[in-house]
Structure 1
Amino acid sequence: MVKTAKEGIKQQDSNSKIYGKMQAVFIEMDKSPATNSAMKELKDLKEAVIGSGGEDAKDAFDPKKHIDAYLPVRLTSRG
């Protein structure tokens, strides 16, 4: 996800587009049929990327810092 975010920043994509790409990567990695659940879990990450400042807040987004802090933690039990 960090790689995807950095590529978006390098291409000067909007924060919305960067988040959309990161969301797609997360859903692909998740392999869960419940994409609505993934979207709810990504709410905090979306806020960190897009923020309340809109597109002008791009400089405040740090992929390494924000992705680790806001990426949902998944715990699985194996029987």
Structure 2
Amino acid sequence: MVDWHKLVEFFLIFGAAVMSPGPNFVMVVRSSASSTRKNGIFMTLGFGLGLLIQASIVTFGLRFFVRFIPFYH
């Protein structure tokens, strides 16, 4: 049986963690404030590209495990 109080508590803590700004946000704000807006935009694009590359590696890695390792079928 599901303990609803623990589930609600988990989602509240998770929601707070998701909404809090991380180090990428701090770096972009610092770069934009101390330099030009253009630098902040390029830094944001760099972070986005890095995230895209990381997500692609994870996706293709999981696909490899599902396709070639019989245990994961």
Whether the TM-score (by the shorter chain) exceeds 0.5 is no
Q: Which has the higher contact order (CA 8 A, sep 6+)?
A: 1
What's the TM-score once normalised by structure 1's chain length? 0.33
Q: TM-score, normalised by structure 2?
A: 0.35
| Larger helix share, 1 or 2 | 2
